């Protein structure tokens, strides 16, 4: 059903009533092939309004494979996800303003990205036919997740930091998962499929199955065997500064999508543990219990992000702030979060055990509030090795810490965080090695490290005495044209 190619007759709308109150869309991903009937979404609804391509097809029950079905699938998923986050964060506008543009099909590419102008989607070949990234609720809610996080933590946009960039990807995957959980039919299906044990591979944990299959056909080791990324995974924290810049999907690298899986895995494992810890019957949680815990966890993630300073070991700072935030929501959540973050080495045992003391520290809370608006320090890095004649000015993960949270090394010892400059240097080295930088005509052509046919996430901007590094976008990644 997912990839059936319709005939001309089928392309006609099944329902002719332009005033129909419902639309047909995919539940989570075309690869799952499960459809759901939903109320007609209002894209202009505030606070988080969208501008879709015009003219809009009349709302109706269209067949998969048609542009009209894709339009309403994207619209339904984005409205559902944005309404969820608007309430949770809360948000009164996007980082880009009152309205976020959505471009449903910009041409051939197995990709999607958020560039502070719009959510951008594409189409490309797969063994089962053409796939459209904008047709997957998983992918559209992932891209919207970038826009949501950018709207309440804009400092992460330009931070030259592996952990900040990877967390952006993780938050976007959490957005896809949490947006899916808002559908009662998904909750019921997942509880049945997993026998009530949520930390098992399921439609909920597997993200972007269809796009994953399309990428796998071109680059077999670039994605997981059954999807783009699976939130059920056993990756544990390693300092990304010391990781390889690229690795097969079965291994961890410092590449943001790869490294994001450490935090997403902890998030998903926490969700399952928190449901089991609070359900009336831990073996048979109800769909109401699942959505209630998922919404609590979303609020805890948001609180952690807001409180954490943008520093080189961002994962540990967010995790520690989440443990603190959880204590104010439900005591039973705290040991689950601590145990998960410690098991993933995102928090050292020392840091996890110190969160209670910090909980009582009024001074720390005050410092955290001050930190939120503190600008990131710009540092000029020597840049001759990148083929540049002037120093490269980058924003470093340099906000002040109210307290020190640490991740753990494989031997369980706390990891002393790298300096902001060391973290920034490692991140920028990887951008150049991965070909993610648009030189923008800066520097002599023969000295540049340019890779053709690679989507650029950053660009160089020449100023009088320095070259400045600017972020262009967050992409969904892993695909080379
Ligand atoms: Zn992304």
CA terminus-to-terminus distance, the chain: 28
Separation of CA 444 and ligand 1 centre (Å): 32
150 Cα to the center of ligand 1, angstroms: 12
CA of 476 to the centre of ligand 1 (A): 4
Which residues of the chain, if any, have pLDDT below 50?
A: 1-18, 362, 481
CA of 400 from ligand 1 middle (Å) equals: 27
Nearest alpha-carbon partner for 271 in 293, 287, 247 = 293
- Residues surrounding ion ligand 1 at CB below 5 Å: 169, 172, 474, 476
**pLDDT at residue 330, as a whole number:** 98
Quote the ligand 1 centre to 315 CA distance (angstroms): 17
**Up-side HSE of residue 414: CA atoms within 13 Å toward CB?**
15
Query: What's the predicted TM-score (pTM) here?
Result: 0.94
The token pair at 219 is 């680059």
Q: How far is the CA of 143 from the centre of ligand 1 (A)?
A: 6
The secondary structure element, H or E, covering residue 99 is strand 99-103
| Distance between Cα 197 and ligand 1 center (Å) | 28
Asked if 230 and 206 count as a contact pair (C-beta separation under 8 A), the reply is yes
Ligand 1 centroid, distance to 134 Cα (angstroms): 13
Q: Are 417 and 317 in contact (CB under 8 A)?
A: no
Separation of CA 479 and ligand 1 centre (Å)? 12
Q: How far is the centre of ligand 1, averaged over its atoms, from the C-alpha of 141 (Å)?
A: 10
Q: Give the Å distance between the CA of 106 and the centre of ligand 1.
A: 17
Beta strands 112-114 and 118-121, pairing class: antiparallel
CA 140 / ligand 1 centre spacing (Å): 10
Bridge partners (DSSP) listed for residue 207: 229
Asked if residues 325 and 307 have their Cβ atoms less than 8 Å apart, the reply is yes
Among 428, 422, 478, CA closest to 260? 478
CA distance 450 to 454: 9
- Cα of 225 vs centre of ligand 1, distance in Å, is 19
How buried is residue 400: exposed, middle or buried, by Cβ count under 10 Å (0-12/13-18/19+)? exposed
For residue 131, with 0-12 CB atoms within 10 Å meaning exposed, 13-18 middle and 19 or more buried, which class applies?
buried
pLDDT for res 477: 65
- Residue 368: per-residue pLDDT: 59
Task: For residue 286, report the distance from its CA to the centre of ligand 1, in Å.
Answer: 31
Cβ-based neighbour number of residue 235 at 10 Å? 18
Ligand 1: centre distance to CA 259 (Å): 12
Q: What is the pLDDT of residue 18?
A: 46
Q: Rounded to whole angstroms, how far apart are CA atoms 87 and 255?
A: 32
Residue with token string 């009530």:
196
Question: What's the CA-to-centroid distance between 353 and ligand 1, angstroms?
Answer: 32
CA of 144 to the centre of ligand 1 (A): 9
Instruction: For residue 198, report the distance from its CA to the centre of ligand 1, in Å.
Output: 24
Tell me, in angstroms, the distance from the centre of ligand 1 to residue 165's CA.
9
Q: What sign has the CA pseudo-torsion 266, 149, 119, 241?
A: negative
Spacing, Cα 205 to ligand 1 middle (Å): 16
DSSP character string of 231-298: SS-------GGGS-S---TTS--SSHHHHHHHHHHHHHHHHHHHHHHHSSSTTS--HHHHHHHHHHHH
Q: In what order do the strands lie in the sheet with 392-395?
A: 378-381, 392-395, 467-471, 458-462, 437-438
pLDDT at residue 476 in the model: 83
* Cα 411 to averaged position of ligand 1 atoms, centre (Å): 32
Q: What's the token pair of residue 461?
A: 């901007």
What pLDDT is recorded for position 480? 55
CA of 475 from ligand 1 middle (Å) equals 5
- Please report the pLDDT score of residue 10 as a whole number: 43
Distance CA 392, CA 419 (A): 18
């Amino acid at each position: 059903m997912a990839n059936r190619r319709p005939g001309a007759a089928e392309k006609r709308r099944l329902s002719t009533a332009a005033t129909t109150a419902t639309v047909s869309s995919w539940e989570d991903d075309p690869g799952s092939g499960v459809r759901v009937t939903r109320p007609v979404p209002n894209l202009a609804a505030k606070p988080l309004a969208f501008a879709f391509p015009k003219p809009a097809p009349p709302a109706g029950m269209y067949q998969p494979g048609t542009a009209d079905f894709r339009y309403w699938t994207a619209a339904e998923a984005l409205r559902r996800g944005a309404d969820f986050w608007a309430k949770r964060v809360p948000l009164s506008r996007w980082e880009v303003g009152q309205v976020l543009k959505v471009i449903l099909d910009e041409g051939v590419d197995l990709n999607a990205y958020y560039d502070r102008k719009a959510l951008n989607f594409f189409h490309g070949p797969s063994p089962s036919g053409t796939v459209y990234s904008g047709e997957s609720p998983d992918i559209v809610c992932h891209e919207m997740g970038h826009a949501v996080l950018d709207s309440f933590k804009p400092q992460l946009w330009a931070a030259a930091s592996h952990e900040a960039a990877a967390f952006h990807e993780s938050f976007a995957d959490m957005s896809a998962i949490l947006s899916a959980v808002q559908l009662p039919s998904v909750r019921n299906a997942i509880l049945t499929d997993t026998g009530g044990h949520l930390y098992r591979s399921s439609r909920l944990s597997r993200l972007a199955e269809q796009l994953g299959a399309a990428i796998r056909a071109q680059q077999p080791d670039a994605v997981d065997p059954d999807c783009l990324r699976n939130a059920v995974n056993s990756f544990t924290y390693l300092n990304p500064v010391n990781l390889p810049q690229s690795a097969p999907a079965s291994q961890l690298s410092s590449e943001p999508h790869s490294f994001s899986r450490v935090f997403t895995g902890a998030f998903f494992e926490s969700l399952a543990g928190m449901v089991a810890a609070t359900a009336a019957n831990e073996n048979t949680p109800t769909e109401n219990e699942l959505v209630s815990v998922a919404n609590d966890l979303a609020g805890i993630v948001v609180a952690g992000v807001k409180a954490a300073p943008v520093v080189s070991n961002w994962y540990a700072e967010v995790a520690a702030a989440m443990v603190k935030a959880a204590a104010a929501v439900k005591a039973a959540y705290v040991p689950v979060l601590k145990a998960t973050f410690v098991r993933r080495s995102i928090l050292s045992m020392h840091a996890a055990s110190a969160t209670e003391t910090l909980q009582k520290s009024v001074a720390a809370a005050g410092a955290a509030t001050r930190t939120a608006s503190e600008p990131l320090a710009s540092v000029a890095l020597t840049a001759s090795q990148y083929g540049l004649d002037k120093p490269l000015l980058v924003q470093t993960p340099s906000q002040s810490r109210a307290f020190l949270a640490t991740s753990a090394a494989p031997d369980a010892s706390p990891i002393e965080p790298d300096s902001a400059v060391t973290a920034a240097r490692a991140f920028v080295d990887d951008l150049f090695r991965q070909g993610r930088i648009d030189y923008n005509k800066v520097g002599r052509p023969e000295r540049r490290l340019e890779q053709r046919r690679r989507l650029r996430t950053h660009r160089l901007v020449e100023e009088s005495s320095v070259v400045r590094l600017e972020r262009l976008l967050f992409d969904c990644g892993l695909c080379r044209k």
